[in-house]
Structure 1
Amino acid sequence: MCPQNKTEVNEIVLLGFQDLTSSTIPFFIVSLLIYVGILCGNSLIILLVTFTENLQTPMFFFVKHLGLADFLFTTNILPLMLHLTLNGNVSVPLGFCLFQLYFAGVSGFVQGSILAVMSYDRYLAICRPLHYVSIMRSNVCVQLVIGCWIVVFILITSGIILVYQLQFCGFNHIDHFYCDLGPVIALSTSDTSLLSLVVFFSTIPMIFIPCVFVIVTYICILISILRISSRTGRKKAFSTCSSHLVVVCTYYVTMITVYSIPPSRNSLNINKFLSLLYIVFTPIVNPIIYSWRSKEIRETLKKYVRAIVRPRKI
């Protein structure tokens, strides 16, 4: 129960980007275009991989589900942010705020888990090519993706249950454009020590272990590539994992940049723009990288474009 001099919080006021002033409309247009690009790019990857037979491989199967996680992650945040940009600040129910926090956590950390699985796929393709087909069967790929969602779902749920038990009394303003974990915890009037402990230990399987796993697999990949005698062979082997390596670096660099800066009054705007970078950069880069680097996707796109624009014979 809240003290008598404080009312229980039922709504959260998101303050968004208050310092944009004259740049509001340009910022809104750019953000909208980026969001449309994310939706179109990832939807295109998902549809191409789903309905094109020559893209039915483990690598593209994981790319499809990475695109799905990117799609869900940005759709959970950017529409509200766009609405917030035009209106200055927005009041949302506390339940909606906690749901957005929960859904952002699940879809965001699934990205990292799938990237770790993809690094294992690249490791097998380069370091264990003779065993690749027997190991990376279709049912194994499905089990790996489902396992990523289940593990992240369980870990995030354990934390969100504690968040739901927090009390929110009196002050209800969050100087952010979405309900991130740090601002929500800071708004609570309850003891958050247990929650902070659970969050800390949850980051080990969700961030630390996947990151270390990716590093180890790429060390093994690099060693295998250096052992290839021909320059052409080394170049071909590296090209099979270069797209994934770029996406992995983008994901972890933006995440570490956002969460390594301690929150303070002077860094609030910096944190918000870095958070925006983390939310939009990886989802917009993924379809661009895989479309540009993957010959199979480029050829499939060309085939469908030619089928659409080719004039019908009378």
Structure 2
Amino acid sequence: MRDTGEVDTELGDFLRTRRARLQPEEVGLASYGARRVPGLRREELAQLAGVSVTYYTRLEQGQSQNASDDVLDAIARALRLNDDETAHLRNLARPAKRKRRQTSRPETARPSTRQLILAMDGVAVVAMDRRSDVLAWNTLGHQLLGSHYDVNSPYSVGTRPNLTRMLFLDSHTRELYARWDDEAKRSIASLRLVAGRHPDDRHLAELIGELSMKSTEFAALWSRHPVLNCTFGVKYFHHPVVGQIELAFEVVQMPDDSAHRILMYSAEPGTPSEAALRLLGASTQQTASEKAPQDS
């Protein structure tokens, strides 16, 4: 049940989920009376943050977009937010001045980026945009994540894979991840950060809407408003060709304003996973068709 007069906003949803996970006794407050909803009440959080209940309520309902850094930091401390959650709070509380939506050209990876990715050996590499649309991949990247797609599919908007859509709607991809639940949570937490940074991205909103309609698991996880900048870690695969494989991953942001990212998977030297990755690379010979076509 929501508070009376509740207004649906991304900021409000985020703050409510974070209030719900804290109990008064955890933050040194006495709890009085029955609670209709779990967690801290608005007045309790306002007290902890040192702001008025009226001000906090307006902020949570999206009626104030001029909150200072000091106020947002105080709320973040009261809610015990981590660094990623605090950054997300600022993005939602003070959205960038909205620009008039214009028809944008399809995203493409630079030819030099494609060339670099194809030249990388022993590492599975994928270039993607902020929505996790695949813009390019090397042989290992294709074989690891999307061998059931045509190798050239990233180079056409109509056939381009999307890693998040694949994760929730593609049965082959679902079977690929040995710890699918962990991967799903990580994917949504990262997508939440991106959505907070780009609230006017129509294509991103359409992707979120599509997944919310077609996947009850996505909708349930999305409603919890997880937030995490997932730039490194370990993933566990059950690959149909080489079996169990454990790979470290790193995500590198391109040093421009494109918001393109490079996702790289590698195996620890001398491990069975390294042998499996080598076998996967050797299972498919490179051909001329693996080279990206020139932009028209």
TM value normalised by structure 2: 0.26
Higher RCO, Cα 8 Å, sep 6+ = 1
TM value normalised by structure 1: 0.25
Structure richer in helix, relative to its length: 1
Structure richer in strand, relative to its length: 2
